[in-house]
Structure formats: structure tokens, C-alpha cells
Chains A and B, each alone.
Chain A
Amino acid sequence: MRSWTRGIAAVLAVVVLALAGCTGSGSQKNVELNFYFPIAVGGPLQAKVDAMVTEFTTANPNIKVTAVYAGNYQDTMTKVQAAKPEVAVLQATDIFTLTDLDLIVPIDDFVKKDKDGEAYMADMVPAFMGNSKLNNKTWSVPFQRSTVVMYYNKDLFKAAGLDPNKAPANWTELVDFGKKLTKTDGSQWGLEIPSDGNPYWTLSSLFYQQGAKMNNEAGTTVSFNSAEVAAGMEFFLALSKTHKIMPTGVIKWGDVPNDFIAGKAAMIFHTTGSIGAIKGKLDPAKFGVAPLPAGKSFGSPTGGGNLYILKSTKEKQEAAWKFVRFLTDTNRVAQWSADTGYIPYRKSAMEAKPWKDAVAGFAGYKAAADALQHAQPELATHNNQQVLKAMGDQLQAIITGSKDVKTALEQAQKDADAILKPFQK
């Protein structure tokens, strides 16, 4: 029993000392930040994030940043809600959810305080700021941003008698090329567009190519049942049913790059974020990247994650802003993009050496950045996930053939209206 009490006394002593240590370091104005980030594309990204964090703490010894890899975007959102870190990378479209949950702070005041603040914001690529503004405030800056592009297999193009340096520029050419690239025994398809899970993001490129506008700026209404969306879906269906250049039914997001690498699909729609992974398995000379072919116009949705500063003490928020500015420094943006295949979101980064070198090594990077000229901000509304699901469910019903385009889109509109009703006050 004696040794037992002595043990407890020892533990208590340690705890007291540890507490004393904490308050001691606190008085030196040290700031601790937690930084949560997801990884949504292939490759050793965690090591690269860790390296940037180490570099930051070396330059700012009074700010200690703990970087936490938190899974995919969905997981990160869940963990951020529970753990309330000071900085996080979350989907650009989460802006409504994050403000409705009252988790984040606008960055305008920090920008104003910085001497070069205005120039910094003006340097951002406009397409990537489309999901950052709400109620006349700016709530995030881009971090890992992408869009949908076309990948095409040059060898298969040659074998089909097509110019290996010319991707289809419009829907007519897409169908034409597709027919030449499809083998009737099913061993090779002209085209694959992923359509599993929620197919909305990829398919919305077809809607934008018809000139569709998906939501209002306040994020309280959507137009899912427009003629433009219907035309986009009809074209998508025709690709497999009428033109027979794409497999019927649901095509898995993760299978599409693999099918492309294996030569089973000659052209695919996928995120620019997959450039790195595909380049790792396929000789860069043997495939090309191009903006998506145009319908009535060019079009593709932006995607990916932004940096958000969460509510905390003023001191921590300022340190967090310092960290955000560090991560989004021109050269770092260029290097990060060259490492990942994400598109540089600062105009100056497109001129910086790491990105220039990457483009010189693989022209596909430039095509990816060019695709941005036609990119539109992706669907962002209140209750975004639920609205997306309302649409995604109906798109799946169209793809599997259980509903016709008009009925399904009307249903999507009805469901989305009901979900958004509480926000239309």
C-alpha cells in the first residue's frame, strides 16, 4: 500500500511539473497551430506538406504548426468539426457549410493589414476565387485546385489513323474520333467519363459546355431542370447508346485512369490532379492532356480545396494567416503544382521557375493550366452535400436507365428546392 501511494505522489508531481512547464512556455508568446489537410490525389503528398511546415517553423520559431493528415475531404470536414484546428484545407464549395456551422472567419482584415495584401489577392487566378466570396467577404484562398481535362492516348490515336497531337476540339470531333478508337469486341473504348458515386462534378462539364448556369451567388437556388442541363445529359447518354463509343452503365472514378493506362480507354475525362499518377505509369510522350472538347462553348468545373482560417484567438488567427501566406507564396505554389499536377492558382506562379520547368518537361501541364480559361466555379449552395446528392441520385437514375432525362431532372429540382427552402428567407 505504501508503494502505491508513493506512485500516485510521483505521478502527481510529474503532472504539476508538466503544467508548470506549459504556463512557462505560454508566457513567451509562443503560438501553437493545428493544420488539418486531406489528400485527394495519388502520390507522396504528405511528405511534401510536412516539408513546407518544417520550413515554416524554422523561419518562425515562435509558431509551432502541427500538420495532421486527416483522410479525404469528407473525413477532414468531419474531423475539423470535432477538433477545431486553426487552419484547414477543405473543399472550396464547403464555404456555405462552414459559415452555416459558424466555424470560419473572413480573411479581408488580414489582407488589409498586409502591405502587399491587395497585390496578393489580385494575383489570384479569378476562376479559383469563384467559390471564396460570400456576403461581400472573402473566406478562403486556393490551395490545391483542379479542373476536368481530357487525357488521350497518342499511340492509340496513331493506330486509328488520327493525328496524335490533336485532341478533339468539339463534340462532333469527340464522337468522330471516338468511333475510330472503339473496337467492337469491347477490348478498347473510345471514351470513358466516370459516373459512379456522385457523378455531378465530372458531368457538370457537359452542362457548362451547353452554357448552363447552375446556382445563384447567394447559394439559395439551383437550376437543375434547365434545357442546357438536359442537353448535356442527352449527349452523355448518346455517347454509349447511339454512338457506342463509351461503355454503358456506371463507370467508376478510380477505374478510369487505370483503364486509360492499360489502353482500354483511348480518351478519358478526369481531374488534372491525376496527371502525376498517370505520368508515373505511362510514358509522358505517349499521352496528351487537353481542355475538354467544346459544345456550344468550352467549359469545365473547378474543383479541389482551399485554405480556411477557423475561429480561435486573435493571436492564433494572425499566426494562421502568416502560415497561409507562407503556403501560398509564389514559388511554393509553383513547386507544389509541379509536384502534384494541381494547377497554379497565382498568375505569378505560372511564370515561376518550378512551374516553367515542369511545363518544359511535360506539355500536358500547360494544357491543364490553359483549360482554366474556360473553367467555371463549381456548384456551391447552402446544404451543399445534400443538394449535390439530390442531383447525383437523379443523374445515376438517368445513367442506369431507370428514369428519363426530363423526369429525373424535374425530380432533382424539386428535391433541391425543398432542401434549400429554409435558406431562402
Chain B
Amino acid sequence: MAQPAVKVGPAGKPVKRRAPSVNWGPYLLLLPSMILLAAFTIYPMLSSGYLALFHANLAHKEPVFAGVENFQTLFTSDLFLKSLKNTVIFALFTIPASVLLAMWLALQLNRRLKSVSFLRAAYFYPTMLPLVSAASVWNFFYNPHYGPVNLLVKLFGGTAHNWLGDPQTALPAVMFVSIWKDAGYFMIFFLAGLQSLPSDVFEAADLDGANRWQQFWKLTFPLLSPTTLFVATISFINAFKAMDQIFVMTGGGPENTTSTLLFYIWQQTFQFWDKGMGAAASVVLILILLAVALFNQFYVDKKVHYE
């Protein structure tokens, strides 16, 4: 653990601070990334915010100022509300499921077994597949006639089901693919986290007679919290980025049960050419992400144990 550091001069006295003079060096070094950030993040955000105030669609050859009408339309649109709800459900299920599964996998594989490297590679494998190919493969897995998922179901005496074609199961089926894809990736972070844990505290716990569950709950879990926060953040971003698998597997259907916020934005902008509505929905997405980022920054981060 780091010692509290106080800067001490050669004679043992605290060093006097120099008079504050602006040092431009660091800003100069930051400049390239600031330019990129401004051009590709800040500017598009602001221009979306501006465009959201206009009717800019096929019925208007020149954009017409609309005030907040696009937002009013959004929050009375069944499709938008459904997409918002789907995104929230997607996040609520995929984040805990993929993070906990990854943690569990890492705990199981963080030991000396002969098969360990094979198993690690096997669980990590889905990460290396491009999402679009993985989604195509799962399209085949979910095929109602000859898909392996139904073959498995039938083997255990169930009846074949049209997973992606049933509004009840389409979203869970898509979420499952995301969890499957992410868990192996997150497992790597947890493995790294586990291996950097100090062994002395566990030895001390052993001597004190703490059982495995107590060791996990009182030591491993809190000590891993920086990794957990990091992984949960990535998982959150993935949930809001979910697009490729939806595109390939369901196209937002059936009955829009797999239409997410991002899919909605794409559809409004590039399928319906309604740029005003697409921009308005983007603003909502940005606000949600901003709120979560602030919550992370000012609340969750303080609760996490850093060494």
C-alpha cells in the first residue's frame, strides 16, 4: 500500500512552491486529442442538439424550425417509448448477467489445472469473432427447424420454438448472444484482477479460519471492485451500443420488441430520412449517457476500493 507522500526537501523542510506561471507544455501535448475530441465528439453533439429543433425530413425540402415539437412527438411515439424500454431492459439484464458470469468464470479458472489454458481460450473465443459473424452464427443456432438450440430443447423433451420470431423470446434471445459474447472478454479483466490481489491478506484470513465464502465476500469481492466498476462500465456502453446483433438477427422485430434506442435513431435518420427526429432521439441518448457518466464519476467512484 502506498505511503502518504509529503514532498520533503534536502534539509528536511517542505519545499517552497514557485510563483505560479502558466506552463503551456501540457496543454500543447493535449492539443491533438482536444482537437479530435472537439471535431468528432463535441461538434456532432452540438449539431445534433441544433438539428433536433428542426423539421428536417422528406416532407420539408428546407429544414423548418420546430422548437420542441420533435421531442413532443418522441415522447408520444409508441415506437420510441418501446425502443427506450427495450434498451433499459437490455441494460438491466445484460450488465449484471455478463459481469457476474465473467467473475464466476474467472474464479473457476484462477487455479492451476491442466485444462485451464484451454478453457480460458475457449471462453475468450467469442470475443475474437466479429459481432456480425457471431450474430449470423446465432441466426443459424436459433433456426426453428434445424438450429442446434431447438435440437437441444427437443433432446430434453421440449418442443421446438421460433426464438427470434416470437415477440416474447426475441429480445431475451438477442440479449443472450450479447452476454455470451461479453462474458469471456470480461473474464480476462477479472483474471488479471485476481492475479494482482495481494496473497498475504488471504494467508492471514486462512490462519484466522475464514471459510471460502467469507474470503470471497470480505476480501476478493471488495478488492476486485475497481475491475468490477470498469467491466460494468464497458458492459453498460455495450448495452447502449447494441446494434449489430439486432440488425443481423431481428431487424428490430417482431413487433419492434428488439428495437433499441440506437436502432431507432438509425431507422429515423437513414431509413426514413427524418434527420430532425433522429437528432432528437440522439439528444435523449446523450443525456442518458451523460447522467450515468456523472453518477459514475461522483458517486460510484467514491465507493470503489483502489489500492
Contact = CB atoms under 8 A, between A and B. Distances in A.
Contacts of B146: 262, 264
A402 B165 contact: no
A423 to B, nearest CB: 6
Contacts of B139: 252, 254
Sort chain A's interface into a size bin: 35 or more
Given A252-B164, A259-B145, A264-B146, A197 B61 contact: no
Interface string B143-165: 11110000000000000101011
Interface stretch (B29-37, B39-47, B269-277, B290-298): B269-277
A297 B120 CA distance: 62
A250 B253 contact: yes
A383 B160 contact: no
A359 B256 CA distance: 42
A24 interface: no
A100 B61 contact: yes
A186 B18 CA distance: 84
Contacts of A400: 165-167, 254-255
Interface in B158-181: 160, 162, 164-167
B51 to A, nearest CB: 15
Interface string A386-410: 1001000100110110100000000
Contacts of A385: 271-273
A196 B59 contact: no
B245 to A, nearest CB: 15
B58 A101 contact: yes
B126 interface: no
A16 to B, nearest CB: 27
A196 B143 contact: no
B251 interface: yes
B58 A100 contact: yes
A42 interface: no
A173 interface: no
Contacts of B57: 383
A383 B59 CA distance: 8
Interface in A179-207: 186, 196-197
Interface string B245-286: 000001101111000000000010011111000000000000
A100 B272 CA distance: 12
Contact of A249 (B145, B166, B251, B270): B166
Contact of B145 (A101, A264, A393): A264
Contacts of A255: 143-145
B255 A196 contact: no
Given A250-B254, A393-B255, A386 B144 contact: no
Interface in A251-266: 251-252, 254-255, 259, 262, 264
Interface string A360-385: 00000000000000000000001101
B255 A249 contact: no
Contacts of B58: 96-97, 100-101, 382-383
A262 B250 CA distance: 23
Contacts of B166: 249-250, 400
Contacts of B164: 196, 250, 252
Q: Which of A74, A262, A396, A423 has the most CB of B within 10 A?
A: A396
Contacts of B251: 196-197
A382 B146 CA distance: 41
Q: Which of B58, B139, B146, B273 has the most CB of A within 10 A?
A: B58
Contact of A383 (B167, B253, B256, B272): B272
B164 to A, nearest CB: 7
A130 interface: no
Interface string A74-106: 100110010000000000000011001110000
B255 A397 contact: yes
Interface in B218-266: 250-251, 253-256
B151 to A, nearest CB: 13
A422 interface: yes
A249 B165 contact: yes
A117 interface: no
Contacts of A254: 139
Nearest to A420: B59
A164 interface: no
B253 A396 contact: yes
Contacts of A252: 139, 143, 164-165
A197 B250 CA distance: 7
B268 to A, nearest CB: 9
A264 B143 CA distance: 12
Contacts of A102: 61
Nearest to B268: A386
Given A74-B270, A386-B272, A396 B254 contact: yes
A247 interface: yes
A389 B167 CA distance: 17
Contacts of A389: 267, 271-272
Contacts of B59: 100, 382-383, 422-423
B72 to A, nearest CB: 14
B238 to A, nearest CB: 23
Nearest to B250: A196
Pick the 4 closest A-B CB pairs, nearest first.
Answer: A250-B165, A422-B59, A100-B58, A249-B162
9 contacts: A78-B270, A96-B58, A101-B58, A101-B273, A196-B251, A383-B58, A383-B272, A393-B255, A393-B256
Interface of A: 74, 77-78, 81, 96-97, 100-102, 186, 196-197, 247-252, 254-255, 259, 262, 264, 382-383, 385-386, 389, 393, 396-397, 399-400, 402, 422-423
Given A101-B58, A249-B144, 15 more contacts: A74-B271, A186-B160, A247-B144, A247-B162, A248-B162, A249-B162, A252-B139, A259-B145, A383-B57, A383-B59, A389-B272, A400-B166, A400-B167, A400-B255, A402-B167
